[in-house]
Amino acid sequence: MKKIFLLNTLLVVAVIFGSCGKCCKKDGDKADCSGIETTITLNADDSYSETSKYLNADSTEVKEEGTYHFCSKRNVATLVSSKNDTTRFAFEGNQIVLLGADGKKAEGELAEHYILKKK
C-alpha cells in the first residue's frame, strides 16, 4: 500500500535548480548556468529514470537510470544508479527534497533550489 501511495503521489517530479547568475553545481561539476532542469520518474517495478539539463545554450541532456528503495519510516527514497551512485530524497507533501551525503537537507540561501515539485 505504501508503494502505491508513493507512486500516486510522486510519479514524475521536476525542478529547475536556479543559481541567480552564480555557478551551479551538480555531481561535483561546476558550470556557468542559470540552473539545471531535472525530471525524475519513479516506476512501479522499483526502477527510475532521471533526466538533467543545464539551462545554458549548448547543453545536452544527461540521462540516468537505476532502481529505488523507499523507507517508509523516514519517508525517504534512495535512488541507486546503474553506475552505483546513490541519491536520497525526503518526501514532503507534493515535493521531494534532495538530501546530502550526510542525510540532511541543504541549508542557506540556495536550499530552495534542491526541492523537486510534483509535475
What is the percent of the chain where pLDDT is above 70? 71
Range of the domain at 61: 2-118
Domains: count for the chain? 1
* Cell 539545471 -> residue: 36
CATH number of the domain that residue 65 is part of: 2.40.128.640
Tell me phi and psi for residue 2, to 5 degrees: -65, -40
Q: Is pLDDT of 12 > 50?
A: no
Burial of 10: CB neighbours in 10 Å, binned 0-12, 13-18, 19+:
buried
Summarised one tens digit per residue, pLDDT across range 89-102 is 999 988 889 999 88
Summarised one tens digit per residue, pLDDT across range 21-43 is 333 444 444 445 577 888 888 88
**C-alpha grid cell for residue 31?**
558550470
H/E element, 115: strand 115-118
Task: Report the SS3 class of residue 88.
Answer: strand
